[in-house]
Amino acid sequence: MPLQIIRNDITKMKVDAIVNAANNSLLGGGGVDGCIHRAAGPELLAECKLLNGCETGAAKITKGYQLPCTYVIHAVGPRWIDGSHNEKELLKSCYIASLNLAKEYGCKSIAFPLISSGIYGYPKAQALRVAVEQIGKFLLDNEMMVYLVIFDRKTYEIGDKLYSDIKSYIDDQYVDEHSDSLSLQRARFVEFEHACLEEESVPLSSAKQKSITEWLNDIDESFSEMLLRKIDESGMSDAECYKKANIDRKLFSKIRSDKLYKPSKPTVIAFALALELSLEEIQDMLAKAGFALSHSNKFDLIIEYFVKQGNYNVYEINEALFAFDQSLIGG
């Protein structure tokens, strides 16, 4: 998947470039900045001294030296004051400048820390949203593997209200696979009985009937065929769809070329969200790949929560999935 949120030490990332949350002097400091300078060795500081500093919101590039990356991109994020001193625009500019530098130098992969969210005091949930939005916009028009590297749980937050709302939804909807009470079984039986009665009361002539050929086509249609049909019906191009889904171009090519391709569940969900399918349509697409949404699965409940809210943004949903220690969607 082109954008991944991972928990790791950024100095250990084997990518073309890592981004350093630097200060204006570019001469090292605390937090991520200090860790990167120590891991890179004294040669990094020597090169940084030749750069004559860097303005807030801008970025400059050096070699990686003793780091496993080829380049270090030094981005100077804003200090948080109160949110009314151009902090958001400056933080956006950091990500844009860093990504453009990486592209200019031919980088295929890049790793970011959560810029300004440490000693510069930018609220973590807001810093995360800026990072995901700007990286997401860049990936719509560019091919690059981007990692957002979180060192530990303390450095990662989604909004308190969103976290609380999702947690409440999970608590309300979660059903243990093996804990059906007698009352719940009875309720399900009554619901099933009512559904059967309603079905019997609908005259065949008034129902929307499919031809035998259409039914057989639905049964025979593979996941790959269903996906390509849905993309055509949506009016999106293939590239628009797989980029919106946070899917790698090579993976999409495999799916397109192999009628019987068996995707992972997160990949199916990613495409379903990119196509903005209803919950019923999502279940249909999952069934083509041998999966289903379940109320005994927190991952599924989080997906269901966002769909019911009308939010199909794969990157924002991944923020929440990461916060709840669930697999990310994409591929």
Catalytic positions are 33
Neighbours of 261 (CB within 10 A): 16
Q: Which amino acid is at 16?
A: D
Q: Across the beta sheet with 17-22, what order do the strands follow?
A: 3-7, 145-150, 109-112, 17-22, 71-76, 59-63
CA distances, 187 to each of 18, 76, 180, 184 (Å): 55, 59, 11, 5
* H or E stretch at 272: helix 265-274
CA distances, 29 to each of 34, 39, 57, 105, 155 (Å): 5, 13, 17, 26, 18
Of 184, 122, 112, nearest to 150 (Cα)?
Answer: 112
**Residue 41 backbone class (left: φ over 0; alpha: ψ -120 to 50; beta: rest):** left
Judge contact between 328 and 321, C-beta under 8 A: yes
* H or E stretch at 39: helix 31-40
Q: Which amino acid is at 273?
A: L
Specify the pairing of strand 17-22 against strand 109-112: parallel
Q: Which residue has 């997906």 as its token pair? A: 303
Judge contact between 72 and 62, C-beta under 8 A: yes
